[in-house]
Chains A and B, each alone.
Chain A
Amino acid sequence: GDSVTQMEGPVTLSEEAFLTINCTYTATGYPSLFWYVQYPGEGLQLLLKATKADDKGSNKGFEATYRKETTSFHLEKGSVQVSDSAVYFCALSGTYTPLVFGKGTRLSVIA
């Protein structure tokens, strides 16, 4: 079945550092790819998405590019802030199919 593998955390960075969180996937067909963010004590918020190969999703300074050849969707941000501290989930789904999530990567940004 479909699956998502993302880098283990926790990741600890200083403010203004560059962030990369790796995500690779296995899927039949051509799923859409997502990054969701979960702040402490809250539900999931959609951060960005990409629906086809070579699409780039972006939001709030975060970016991820749908790479079909490497089955990857790595999350990047050029300069992280303390407010970016959260758990980040990579996920995939098709039309009307459920989301399949990775295990999550906890990011802590220190001032």
Chain B
Amino acid sequence: ETGVTQSPTHLIKTRGQQVTLRCSSQSGHNTVSWYQQALGQGPQFIFQYYREEENGRGNFPPRFSGLQFPNYSSELNVNALELDDSALYLCASRSSGRDTDTQYFGPGTRLTVL
């Protein structure tokens, strides 16, 4: 069984730029969520995708957007980067069958905005 994978591992951008982060969900999982983890903090929910549609969103502005593809992989896009966007971005997937309450995380993408 393949776990959740994310790319890239690290990324450095400058303020105002745009970034795309990618995630491949665990085999058999059709729901993907994205979380932002600032340094020294717990992860904060950004949004969730199920069957290629956003079906839940946290307190993040519209410049955070996403996509889910037919193979259940996902992208997180952030426009007009700000310094405070520097964080570890975590992707998590879960099944719609059993253990629907349990999410499994990827290793994360560390984004630095200069």
Q: Is the CB of B107 within 8 A of A95?
A: no
By DSSP majority rule, is chain B's interface helix, strand, loop, or mixed?
Answer: strand
Q: Which of B41, B90, B101, B104 gathers most chain A CB within 10 Å?
A: B101
Q: Is the CB of A98 within 8 A of B41?
A: no
Interface size class of B (residues with CB under 8 A): 20 to 34
| Given A95-B100, A98-B56, A99-B103: A44 touches B33 (CB 8 Å cut-off) | no
**A93, closest chain B residue (CB):** B101
Q: Is the CB of B102 within 8 A of A46?
A: yes
Q: Is the CB of A101 within 8 A of B42?
A: yes
**Which B residues lie within 8 Å of A96 (CB)?**
31, 50, 55-56, 100
**B6, closest chain A residue (CB):** A43
Q: Is the CB of B42 within 8 A of A42?
A: no
Q: Is the CB of A44 within 8 A of B56?
A: no
Q: Is the CB of A101 within 8 A of B43?
A: yes
Q: How far is the CA of A102 from the CA of B40 in the complex (A)?
A: 11
Interface residues of A in 60-111 (CB under 8 A from B): 89, 91, 93-104
**Which A residues lie within 8 Å of B100 (CB)?**
95-96
Enumerate chain A interface residues (CB-CB to B < 8 A). 4, 31-32, 34, 36, 42-46, 49, 51, 89, 91, 93-104
25 CB contacts below 8 A, A to B, read A31-B101, A42-B107, A42-B108, A43-B6, A43-B88, A43-B106, A44-B92, A46-B102, A46-B105, A49-B102, A51-B101, A89-B43, A91-B42, A93-B101, A93-B103, A96-B31, A96-B50, A98-B33, A98-B45, A98-B58, A99-B33, A102-B42, A103-B41, A104-B40, A104-B41
